[in-house]
Chains A and B, each alone.
Chain A
Amino acid sequence: MIPTAEEAAIASSVLTASRAGEPLLIQGNGTKSGMLRPVQSARVLSTRDYAGITLYAPKELILTARAGTPLPEIEAALAEKGQHLIAEPPDLAAIFGQTGRPQTIGGVAAANLSGPRRVAWGATRDHVMGIRAVTGRGEVIHSGGRVLKNVTGLDLCKLFTGSHGTLGVITEVTLKVLPAPETTGSVMLTGLEPEAAVAALSAALGSPFGVSAAAWLPREAAGAIPALAAVAGTVTLARIEDFAASVAYRTDRLRGLLGHGGEILDDATSRAVWRAIGNVEPLLAAKDDAVWRVSVRPSRGPGALRAVIRATGARGFLDWGGGLIWIAGPANEETHGAVCAAANEAGGTWTLMRAPDALRGAVSVVPEEAPPLARITQRVKAAFDPAGILNPGRVHAGV
C-alpha cells in the first residue's frame, strides 16, 4: 500500500508508476472492489488517508471533502445543519460484504452511486460541482469549482464521476447539498403485479405531488425488510419528502390518485424502508449469486425482469419507478447472457455488479460500445493515462 496523506504524494506515486509502466489499483477503503472487472495490479494506491471536509458552506449549499473522507462523516456533518446528500448514495455492504471500514466520498463519486431519490432529483454525477484529480500523467487538475452553476470549459466532473478510477485518482469532491426534508411519508399498495405497479408508479411520478422515490418489491423481498414483514403480498411504494403539513397533504392526495386501497407509511417506517431499498437489502443475494443492475425506461422494467426470471430463475426488484432492476441469480455466463439480452431488448443498459473473478474477468461487465465510440474511449483514456496504469481493465478489457 502506497502512503497517500498528501495530494502531492499521490501525484508523485502516480508519476513514478507511470514512468515504470506499473499498474495501480486505485481505491478508497475498497468497499466496492468486487464491482466490475478485477484489476491486475501488484500495488494498491488508496486515498483513505487523504481525508477530511475542507469546506462546508450550508448557506451556499456546498460541501468539499477530500477523497478519503468516510461517507458517514459527511452525512453526519450535513445532518448537524439539517442538510443531506441529494442523490442518497447507498451503502452496498449487502452486496459486497462488510470490510470493517466505511465507504469514502471518493469511492461514491468514482462509482457514481445513487439511491432511490435519483429518479426525481438526479444522480451523484448531477451534484458533483467540482473535482480535483491526479491524472495518469501525475498532474493535479481541477474541473468545476465551489459554485452551483458553472459551464467554464469541458465538464470533467461528470467524466470523472463514474469512471472508476480509470482516468485519474479523484482527490477531492465538491458536492451540491440541499436542506433535508422535515419529514417523509410513503403510499404503499400491496398485491400488485409488476406491470400494474409500474403503471401506478408512473402515475405517481407524473403527478404534481413531488414524489421522490418509487419502487416495487416482490413478496419475499418485502419480507426481508423488518418494517414490512407483516405484509402478505408484493409491495409498491411512492415516497414524499417535505415539510410535515405538505407530506400529510400530498400522501393523502397521492393515495386517492393511485387507488388500489393504498395505505400510508409514517416517517420512521418510510425512512427505514427506503434505506433498505437503497442499500439493496431486499435483493437477498445468496453468497454464490452474481448481482446485476439494469437500467431501462420504466415501462420496460417489468417485462425485462420477467424475461430474466423466465430464462434463469433469478430474482429481482424494481426501483426508480420501474427503470432500475436489481437482479441476483446464478453466477454463470447463461444467466449473464439472459440479463444482457433482456436489458438490450428493452433498449437499456446493464452492469455486472458482483461476480466471482472467473466470471467478471471473462465477460463484459458493461455493454460494449459501438466501434466509433470505443475508439473515442481508447483515445480519452490515453489522453488522461497514456501509460495505462490506472485501474486497467476495470470497466472495459484493455481500457
Chain B
Amino acid sequence: MIRLPEPKHEVLARRDAIVAGLRALLPESGLIAEPLRLKPYETDGLSAYRQVPMAVALPETTEQVAAVLGFCHANGVRVVPRGAGTSLSGGALPMADAVVVGLMRMNRILDIDYADRCATVQAGVTNIGITNAVSDNGFFYAPDPSSQLACMIGGNVNMNSGGAHCLKYGVTANNLLGLKIVTIDGEILDIGGAHLDAAGYDWLGLLTGSEGMLAVVTEVTVRILRSPEGARAMLAAFRSNEVAGACVDSIIGSGIIPVALEFMDRPAIHACEAFAHAGYPLDAEAMLIIEVEGSVTEQDDLLARLSAICNQHDPISLKVSQSAEESAAIWKGRKGAFGAIGRISPDYLCMDGTIPTSRLPDVLRRIQEMSDSYGLKVANIFHAGDGNLHPLIMFDANDPASFHKAETFGADILRLCVEVGGCLTGEHGVGVEKRDLMPVQFAAHELEQQRRIKTAFDPDWLLNPSKVFPLVEPEPVPLAA
C-alpha cells in the first residue's frame, strides 16, 4: 500500500481562512470546498487510491493560477495540479491538506498557424481537441495516448504522454515548442515559443514529464503535422511469442519503420476478440498489428514488403487490409482492449514498463510464471517497435488480498523490466504508483540529484510533493540565489 505524507496540521487548522483567501482570488464558483462537491476530485485514473483535498481551485486565466499559487506559497499550502484526472499512476492524487488546481476551465484554443505548423492552446484543451481543431485542414497533433478523448494537453506535458504511434512521431516532448508556466511563487514565465530549440538550458525538456512538481503549465504551443495521404493496417498471427518477436526484429532490420507496430499475446487476443468480434485468430499465441502510411501505391508496396517478411516467420494467418473499413476493423479489437479486459475482470491494473525489444519472449515467459504463482490472470499488450509493455493484471477489488497481490505482481513485473535493461515507466509516469520502486532504477545519490532540481524550482516542496520520489523529508539544500 502507498503511504501519503502526513498532512500539515497548522494548514488544516487554518482551513477556513485559506478557503476564504482563495475564494477572493477566483471567479464565482471557481473555488470548491464543500465535502460533497470535493468528492469527484478525490482520485484519478488510479482509482484504488482516494483522498479528498482541502479545496479545489478552478482558475480561468493564467493570472488567476498565478494568484492562487502565490497565495498558497505565502501560506505554506501544498498544491496538486490536475487536468482531466486520467493519470494511471496517481499523478493527480490529492492530499488532505492540499489545494487541487484544476485546469479544466482553461480550455480555449488560442492560435492555430498552418504556415508555421503550430498551435497554442490552454492547458485544459483535450488531446483530441487539438487534432479536431486542425483536421479539416488536413493536420493533426501526433501523440495519441489511449485516453486522448478525455486527457488534457497540460497533463500530457506533465506526464510526457506517448501513444500507439510514437515509433514514428515521438512522444509529447518531441512535439512541443513552448509553454507558459506559473512557478510556485506566482511568477508567470514563457518557455520556448513558436520557434525551435531555444538557447540556454532546455527547460522545455526538463518540464515535460516533471509530473507537476516544478511548475503549473497553463498554455502549450505544440507542433501540428500534415496528415499523410493515407494509412492502412495489416494483421499477422504467429505460433509463439518468440516467432512474433523475431518478426518484429526482421521488420525493423528491413529499414521499414511502420507508423504503428502493436503486439498482443494470447490472453489479450482472446479478450479483445470476445469483446469486439474483430476477427482475430484465436489459435494464435501472438499477433501483430502493423500500420503503414503514404499514397495507395506506397501502402501497397510497404504492405507487400511486410507480408514477405511475415511469411518468412511461418505465420498462422496474415490479413492485409484493403480499405479504411478493414483497417478500422483490425484496430477495433486493440483499441477496445481496456473495455475487453474490463468485461473479463471488473478490476485490472494497467502496468507500463519498457524493455529492450529483444528480451520480449523471455519477459513474457517470466510474466506468465509470475501469473501462475500469484494466481492472477494477465494479458499483455506491447508497443513492439519501442519496447513499451502494458501488462493488464486482473484482480477482484472486493477482496483486499487480491488487490494487494495484484500490486505486488505489478511491482515484480516492473523490477523485471529494469533487470533486463528497461525502465519502470514508458508513458504513464511514476506518480504515487511507482514512487517506491524508484530505488530499483536509481541510486540514492541520483535520486538526491533529482530532488535538488525540484528544490531549485520549489524550495518549500509545495508542488505535488508526494509524487515520483520515495517519501523522505527532503534535506534542506542551500540555494545559490
Contacts and interface: CB of A to CB of B under 8 A. Distances in A.
B387 A147 contact: yes
B117 A379 contact: no
Interface stretch (A149-157, A228-236, A259-267, A269-277): A149-157
Nearest to A135: B449
A267 to B, nearest CB: 16
A310 B449 CA distance: 48
A362 interface: no
Interface residues of A, number: 86
B467 to A, nearest CB: 11
Contact of A379 (B386, B443, B456): B456
Contact of B357 (A60, A182, A243, A324): A60
A372 B173 CA distance: 23
Given A147-B386, A208-B138, A245-B301, A154 B252 contact: no
B13 interface: no
B363 to A, nearest CB: 12
Contacts of A141: 443, 445-446, 449
Interface string A292-308: 00011111000000000
Interface stretch (A67-75, A116-124, A184-192, A216-224): A116-124
Given A148-B387, A149-B427, A202-B115, A349 B198 contact: yes
A354 B252 CA distance: 41
Given A149-B383, A351-B199, A59 B252 contact: yes
Nearest to A146: B421
B386 A155 contact: no
Given A366-B199, A383-B455, A154 B209 contact: yes
Interface stretch (A23-31, A89-97, A159-167): A159-167
A158 B426 CA distance: 16
Contacts of A142: 442, 446
Contacts of A370: 189-190
A210 B294 CA distance: 9
A182 B255 contact: yes
A323 B202 contact: no
B226 interface: yes
A151 B202 contact: no
Contact of B198 (A154, A208, A295, A372): A295
A114 B197 CA distance: 10
A395 interface: yes
B57 interface: no
B128 interface: no
Contacts of B194: 297, 347
A126 interface: yes
Interface of B: 113-118, 138-139, 159-160, 162, 166-167, 170-171, 173-174, 183, 185, 187, 189-191, 193-206, 208-210, 226-229, 249, 252-257, 294-295, 297-298, 301, 354-358, 383, 385-388, 421-430, 434, 438, 441-443, 445-447, 449-450, 452-457, 468, 477-481
13 contacts: A59-B358, A146-B356, A148-B387, A158-B202, A159-B205, A162-B201, A163-B202, A179-B257, A208-B229, A367-B199, A367-B200, A369-B200, A376-B183
Q: Which 5 A-B residue pairings sit nearest by Cβ, starting from the closest?
A: A158-B205, A382-B480, A366-B199, A379-B456, A383-B452
Given A59-B357, A163-B201, 5 more contacts: A142-B442, A155-B205, A158-B208, A206-B226, A298-B116
